[in-house]
Structure 1
Amino acid sequence: MKRREPDKPQPFYKGRGAASNITGRFAEHSSTRESDGWQTEAEPLEQLLTTSIEEKAKSIIATNQSPDIPFTQSINPYRGCEHGCVYCYARPAHAYMDLSPGLDFETKIFFKPNAAELLEKALRKPNYVCSPIALGANTDPYQPLEKEKGITRTLLEVMQKFRQPVTIITKSQLILRDLPILAEMAQDNLAQVAVSVTTLDNDLKRKLEPRTAGPKARLRTIGALSENGIPTAVLAAPMIPALNDCELEAILKSGRESGAERAAYILLRLPYEVAPLFREWLAIHYPHRADHVMSLIQQSRGGQDYQSDFSQRRQGTGVFAQLLRQRFIVAIRKLGLNHRRLLLDCSQFDPPPQAGEQQCLF
């Protein structure tokens, strides 16, 4: 019997999560590269540089009514994210910009230089009703571009001035730059942070989230935030069947030991273009495990790659999803996580006087 030669690994861009620029769902035309048979070796892939694009936003606070999302207001200082997490549920948003949810999402980053100005205007509107604002629902507010642009920092300064409660989710240790602001807000119960820890395995991290901080750096970030009195959660997300779900308890334990008070997890979500991008990623990095991973995902999503139903999209259904949930419940009980609910205080919201306004004398 002739021995079957192993498949040649498909090329991919080093330091990038997606392997291609998949066509967005709104595009009328698409193109693809096909071999003509003459080339015997794969062409080396050119280096992909990140491009930042200025976007003059007209509004800055987004609202939602989704019952499974723990906030009703959010701000995204950027569109796209250079972290390059291949599983990111925000990738399909780039299709609205006539760009690909694939490589374009992590290499063409839009920034909003007027974000702080728009936020201040929004907070001063007479009909504004204060509720916590989530920074970075569809992007990481502390991705690499923030070091240069500082947009997240200016937003925090406005929130501090108005005593507007804020929650933040990030994978970046750059958040420690703003530790003084966050610590001061946290003293008045106006700030909370969640640090996402997807894996404790550096090799898997490099493949799955190529431009994010390493696991140890994220745990140190949890520790620094907690030590400065900022309520901090560890977010084990996403949990990917047969890939990193075996780490759930270890992630929660490491987060707790670093100072996290609360924890949450989310089962992998593959909406729209994320599903084919993730399948492509599996074929490159874990070809012999790909079918098993996708089988478990579909068992947890009603036989499909994804279901958008609010009641189950974060945790899934089926045997695997139920076992994952039970494991989480047992782990947080054992570790003493989530023993108290932390609610930010909206009663302190107080727009400061503008220049020229007469202040109250009494």
Structure 2
Amino acid sequence: MSKTILIGPASPPVRGGIAIHTTNFHKSFNKINRLGFIGLRKLYPEFLYPGNSQFTDIYKFKNKYFNLINIKDLIKIFNFVSKSNKVILTYWTFFHIPFFLLITMFNKNKVILLCHNVYDHDSKFFKRLLIRFFLKRFDNFIVHTTNDKKKIIKFHNSANILRLSHPLYDNSSIQYNLILEKNIKLLFFGIIRPYKGLDFFLDVFNSLKRKDIELKIIGEIWYKDRKYWEDIISKSNKKILYEFNFVSNSKLEKEIIKSNLIIMPYMSNTGSGVASMALKYNRPIIGSSIEGITEIFLHNKNALIFKLGSKSSLKSVLNRLNKEKILRMSNELNKMKKIHNMENYAKKINAKFF
């Protein structure tokens, strides 16, 4: 095992954007500087996971990688950490704090914490208190938004923090052409959670008078229930297709390519893998004015950004949509790929901490 290691979820078998990010970051960084990988194959007990499954194909990988909630595996990881010089630890949720405290015991000075979220999106006072206690043990951080950097400085003003926008998941520079048909096709994808603002978006979308815009929703429901969302959709006079399930990367790719714009009506700051996917496939976004979006995209140049929480601002953006504008923004996105790719992301981390 290398003297520098990365710890985080492996994709496959773990599904979702953070696992894809971790695995592809390892591949890119390893080309620059040797980096061992402690891949995690299980992150939660089944009864605590809010979705249908945390895995893509667990059986194929049951003898590879490590189970974060298994004490024998935790001891193995602890031993790897003890023998290493530096550790990049992927952090994104309150639930993993006890396990991460154990594996970094006596080794906190080695750790560079790669924070996808400083606080969980639904965290209240007690959770935030424990998160601050955990994060304050470390000195070196990588975050994806200025807002997350500010959150850490507020309780840890001596922290050494590198802010980098969430990169593309790979180093692809392929240009994916838009397929413009009669109707403008919007796509919302990802886990449906309160901060994603889907119900806010549907309120505005359903109030539009124009009939040439259609919407597709793809995502597993973690907020409200299926009936709640189907009731909203059934009352709409707009064309809304939906698939309330996790879909494979290959299927999601096809759906993104069929779409014209990606919808990100988010209500709170987050570095987003959805934005990275939109950039990869040259699909402009319609997004709220949170830092995780405005630090990457520019309104009317490569995205359409509405004022956070403003229905009138979102409605104005939707009413002014046209195919010429979408095509122009798509061409602008292709120029951004080399700036925001995983290779550059890895190089900046290597230059800062190694």
TM-score by length of 1: 0.34
TM-score by length of 2: 0.35
